[in-house]
Structure 1
Amino acid sequence: MHPFALIVSEPIKIDIWSDIACPWCYIGKRNLEGGISSLGDDAPEVEITYHSFELAPDTPVDFEGSEVDFLAKHKGLPAERVHEMLDHVTGVAANAGLDYHFDTLQHTKTLKAHELLHFAKEQGRQLELAERLFRAYFTEGRHVGRIDELVELASEIGLDTGAAREALESGRFAPAVQADIAQAQAYGINGVPFFVIDGKYGVSGAQPREVFARALTQVADEKAA
C-alpha cells in the first residue's frame, strides 16, 4: 500500500433478527436508533440488515380474536395478566416515542411481511419498509398478513407495486426467510429482537439506547485500533 493512501474504514454491520409482530422489536429498533444518534458526530457509520424470525409460525393469516385472545391462548395466561403485560409494553413503547394500540391490532401470520422485507432489501429499501410495517401493525391497526395490504404499504415507501405483488404471490423470497430462521437457530437465538454487531457481539432484547451506544463505541474503537 502506498504510504499516503487513505484507509477507508468499513461500516459496522448490524444484523437484526426480529418479527413484525414483536412489540419489543419495534422498541429495540427505536432504542438502537437513539443510541446511534446520541453519539452525534462520533457516531460510526453503520449498515443495518433485518433478518426474519417468526415468533408464532402457526398463526393463521386471519386470526379470529383480539391480541389478548391470542396471547392468552398462546402463552396459557389469564386475560387479566395479558392486559397487564400489554399495558406495561405500551408504557415502555411510549417512553421510546411509539404509540401502540393493542385494541385495534390485527394479529396475523407474518411470513409474507418477511418475504416483502427481503424484496425491499433487494431494492435497497428494507429499512424504510421495516419502519412502515411496524407502524402499520402496532399503531395503525393495518393487516400485514394479506398480500393486497402489503403491496399497498410497499407502494407507500416507493416500491413498485407490480414487482412487490409478483414477489409475494410467487413466494420466491420464502427460501430467504427460512435461511434467516435457520441462521438464528445456528446462533442459538430463541427470542427477538437479537442484534449481532460486527459479526461477533450479540445484544439480546430491547436494551436501552445507552447499551447500544456503548457497544458501537467499543466496536468502533476496536476497528480503529
Structure 2
Amino acid sequence: MTEPAPTTVKVDIWSDVACPWCYVGKRRLETALGRLAETGTGPRVEIEYHSFELSPDTPVDFEGSAVDFLAGHKGMPHDQVEQMLGQMTTLAAAEGLAFDFDAVHQTKTLTAHELLHHAKAHGKQLEMKERLLKAYFEDGRHVGRADELADLAAEVGLDRDEVAAALADHRYADAVQADIDQARAYGINGVPFFVVDGRYGISGAQDPAVFVQAIEQAAAEVAAA
C-alpha cells in the first residue's frame, strides 16, 4: 500500500533586501523547516518571496553610511543608531550571519525586487534572495545598480545578459507593484511578514517554534479538509 503524498503548505513572505530582520527571519524560518524535516512526517513547504520597499524614497546612490541614513530616517542620534546596529549585528551572529553595517551601500531596492521576479520566473528565486541579502549585509555590494545585480544573478546561475535586458526594460515592474498592493490589502506595514497557507499571518522574525506551530496547524487543517 503506497503512503499518501505529504501535505503541501505554502508560505508567502513579504520582505525587503535592505531589511536586517528579513535576513534574520529567513534564517529562523529555515531553522523551523529543518526541525519539521527531522520529524520525517512534516508537510512539504513551498516558499515564495514578495516585494516590499521599506524606504521607497531612498536614492539609488545614497551619500553617507548606514548610520547616517538611519539617523535621518528615524530621527535618532548617531550614537543611538550605532548602538542599535551593534545589537543587530550580535543578534544576527546568533543566526550565523556576519553583518557588516560599515560596508553597507544604502540604496533603493526596487530594481532588486524586479530581479527577484525574474529569478522566480526562472526557478531561482530562493537562491537569488539569499545572494542579495548576503551581498547587501555581509559583502558590501551595491544592490541598487543594474550591472551589479546582473553580476550577482550570474553567480546563482541566471543568464547575465537576460537579466540585464529584463532590468533595462522593467518588464517585472508591474509584478513588483502587485506584490506591494497585496501587502497593502493585507494591512502589512512592515517586514518580514509571513502568510502561512493563506490562513495565518506572522509578523516579524519570530522564534522558529512559532513557524513550526503555524505550519503544522495549517497542514493539519489542509489534511482534514
* Same fold at TM > 0.5: yes
Cα distance in 2 between the residues matched to 1:62 and 1:43: 45
Amino acid at match of 1:99: A
Deviations 1:103-122 (A, max 9, x none): 11111100000000000000
Instruction: Give the gaps of 5 or more residues in structure 2.
Output: none
Secondary structure, counterpart of 1:103 in structure 2: helix
Partner of 2:28: 31
1:73-222 alignment runs, 5 A limit:
73-222=72-221
Runs of 4+ in 1 over 2 A off after TM superposition: 4-10
> What's the Cα RMSD here?
1.4
Cα distance in 1 between the residues matched to 2:54 and 2:111: 14
Cα distance in 1 between the residues matched to 2:120 and 2:10: 15
Q: Give the drift of 1:159.
A: 0.2
Amino acid at match of 1:117: L
Q: 2:9 aligns with which of 8, 12, 16?
A: 12
Does structure 2 retain, via aligned residues, the 8 Å contact 1:37–1:43? no
Amino acid at match of 1:180: D
Does structure 2 retain, via aligned residues, the 8 Å contact 1:19–1:25? yes
Percent identical across equivalent pairs?
A: 60
Deviations 1:110-169 (A, max 9, x none): 000000000000001000000000000000000000001000000000001111011100
Q: Give the drift of 1:42.
A: 2.9
* TM-score (ref. length: structure 1): 0.95
Tell me, yes or no, if structure 1 residue 21 matches structure 2 residue 18: yes
Bigger Cα displacement from structure 2, 146-155 vs 37-46 = 37-46
Instruction: Give the gaps of 5 or more residues in structure 1.
Output: none
Cα distance in 2 between the residues matched to 1:9 and 1:27: 28
Amino acid at match of 2:17: I
Q: How many pairs are equivalent?
A: 222
Deviations 1:21-58 (A, max 9, x none): 00000000000000110121233201100000000000
* TM-score (ref. length: structure 2): 0.95
Secondary structure, counterpart of 2:101 in structure 1: coil
Tell me, yes or no, if structure 1 residue 70 matches structure 2 residue 69: yes
Q: Give the drift of 1:10.
A: 4.9
